[in-house]
Amino acid sequence: MRIGILALQGDFAEHEAMIRRTDGGAGTLLIRRKRDLEVPIDALVLPGGESTTMKKLLVDLGLFEPVRGMILSGLPVYGTCAGLILLAREVEGGEPCFGTMDITVKRNAYGRQLGSFFTTGDFGDMKDVPMTFIRAPYIVRTGGKAVPLASVNGRIVAAREGNQLVTAFHPELNDDLRVYNYFLGKKR
């Protein structure tokens, strides 16, 4: 199994390290340019970072349409923080990017860098999942087939819809592999 990781900006190296540690030890491919998409992948991770910068780079490098097409064709995708924003159909305080997931998100909902925090919470049927939030968005609304998976203080911070999984928090910044194993297990 090979997992593509968008490596234009953000914390892609941390995702790569965690994916390699998952049950079964998936391989990875860092995606930086269009020709990287010629190598077959089984899933895709859209990391945290700055969503408007990532969208600009996706367009400028000719990656936007091919990646969107892969997602719409059913490629499993996991977006964290900025990756969540990239997948959202509606973005409060910003413009949608891929718009493939029926959710509305609020960008920088927890404020500036100083508003970052750590907590633990339930994720689906998993208890005490570590959740690190850094200038994080949250999900204002889920629609259609989008299903909330986790909430913190009444705000939705994780959801799934078909082949798409999103978290407002950064599991790559902790040692707990359960969210990654959940994502990878959805494809097996």
The residues assigned a catalytic role are 81, 170, 172
Which alpha helices (H) appear in 29-141, and where do they start and end? 51-60, 64-72, 82-87
Q: Tell which residue, 43, 14, 16, has the closest CA to residue 28.
A: 16
Phi-psi map region of 49: left, alpha, beta (phi>0 left; psi -120 to 50 alpha): left
> Are 57 and 9 contacting, i.e. CB atoms less than 8 angstroms apart?
yes
State how far the Cα of 172 lies from the Cα of 156, in Å rounded to an integer: 19
In 3-state terms, what secondary structure has residue 153? coil
> Are 113 and 134 contacting, i.e. CB atoms less than 8 angstroms apart?
yes
Q: How many CB atoms lie within 10 A of CB 175?
A: 8
Q: Tell which residue, 181, 186, 183, 176, has the closest CA to residue 158.
A: 183
